[in-house]
Amino acid sequence: MSQPAAAALPPGERPLRGRRESASAARFGRSAAAPEGARIRTADVVDWLAGRARANRFRVERIPFAALDGWSFDEGTGNLGHRSGRFFTIEGLSVRGAPGPFGDWQQPIINQPEIGILGMLVKEFDGVLHFLMQAKMEPGNSNLLQLSPTVQATRSNYTGVHRGAPVRYLDFFTGRDDSRVLSDSLQSEHGSWFYRKRNRNMIVEALGDVPDHGDHLWLTLGQIARLLHHDNLVNMDSRTVLSCVPFLDTGEDALHPDAEVLDWLTAERSRHDVVARRIPLAGTDGWRRGTHTVSRDDGRFFSIVAVGVEAGNREVSGWTQPLLEPHGLGVTAFLTQRLAGVLHVLAHARVEAGFCDVVEVGPTVQYTPGNYALLPAGTRPPYLDEVLTAAPGRIRYEAVHSEEGGRFLNAESRYLLVDADPLRAGEEPPPGYQWITTGQLAALTRHRQVNVQARTLLSLLYAAEATDGVRAAAR
């Protein structure tokens, strides 16, 4: 379709879903059904990515805060920021009234108010849409190089604050006559680590020639679906854009009608009285600044660290910056079941202090288990133990994926799609949880109501359907 897929009205002012009988949706469906592309075999992509790693010099090393170039702690607030006043700052956040065992707390948080562009360029080859993917180095990724969107840039980067080379292919996303927007929406980022951060997720079709570049390659959606089964291969920014693909919504029967799902989400937002306010980093209770880290004495949750970076294929070949480093591997999962023959996922109305609206639709489980290891069984998060102990036969999808490698160091989560325990199939979920279809989840994504981890799982649901022969919500 030639119009942006996301409108500005809140979801309650129009139907959540409608049958999307668009030629564009059918084209994306054909791309998802194509296991091979016109330019490279799927089996050769991993070797291609390894070749790009060998062709460029990449290095990341931990450094003390004193070795940061252009970054410093403010004498008054203790906030860590850049001398330009751009990019982002590390500040403090005070939270009161959150649900769960940790109701009130203080923490460091990344404040990056500018909106970046995560954009995928698509073009037809042999009548099938292909996505232009980039081999992009991010300093926080454990393996550094992963498949990213065509364009992945903050406003500071694409306006030249870093004084580096221009962002390649950016003009396709800023108004070229020979391109058209197929999907365009503002989506949230990690609400536990970012303060009200959003990025523009775009899919744009090139109508004319697109110059080739050695760090980019064209892949069908079917190829990307297969690559999503690899650990740490397709980065987070690609996964969130893929969740916005305007697939055909068939309007399948749901356990709860769309109006009930919207009412449930509104009620969840209304019943939580969470107060989150920015505070000076120096006054953040329970956190201590050392020469190399800002961290807690008990070692839980995460630390703020500093790194020096070399990257031969980036707009700037060398720089230093702070990163947020989580402690432990996360676990992120949807429980799934078929109700009246239709695949449903168990959604959680998740509270994260950094969200603009406090509550967004999240996965059934989204936790770092180590942070809850010492809690009594009755106070542990719902469904966490069910996911951790699920028998292999119930696991429909499993892979380890990196979170945002430009701001987080070694942030990885084990992503799973797990069939719900059949012995509990008829149980009513606890408050804050609701069974919804994949079509409803996709519609909520278009309406900017779904967090980044659940959007990743939506892209993985598409991948599982494309590769395992399960009846697709997008066909």
- Residues 250-259 have pLDDT tens digits of 777 999 999 9
Predicted pLDDT at 164: 62
* Mean pLDDT score of the chain: 91
pLDDT bucket at 475, cuts 50 / 70 / 90: very low
Q: Strand, helix or coil at 388?
A: helix
At residue 348, the pLDDT reads 98
pLDDT of res. 18: 65
Predicted local distance difference test score (pLDDT) of residue 376: 84
Q: pTM to 2 decimals?
A: 0.93
The mean pLDDT value for 119-131 works out to 98
* CB contact at 8 A, 445 and 459: no
Residue 330 has pLDDT above 90, yes or no: yes
User: Could you tell me the pLDDT band of residue 21, with boundaries at 50, 70 and 90?
Assistant: low
Q: Could you give phi then psi for residue 236, rounded to 5 degrees?
A: -60, -40
Grade residue 112 by pLDDT with cuts at 50, 70 and 90: very high
Residue/partner pairs of 335-339 with CB below 8 Å, 24 or more apart? 335/364, 335/365, 335/383, 335/386, 335/387, 335/418, 335/419, 335/420, 336/396, 336/417, 336/418, 336/419, 336/420, 337/419, 337/420, 337/425, 337/435, 339/255, 339/435
Residue 127 has pLDDT above 70, yes or no: yes
Band (13; pLDDT cuts 50, 70, 90): very low
Residue 426: predicted pLDDT: 80
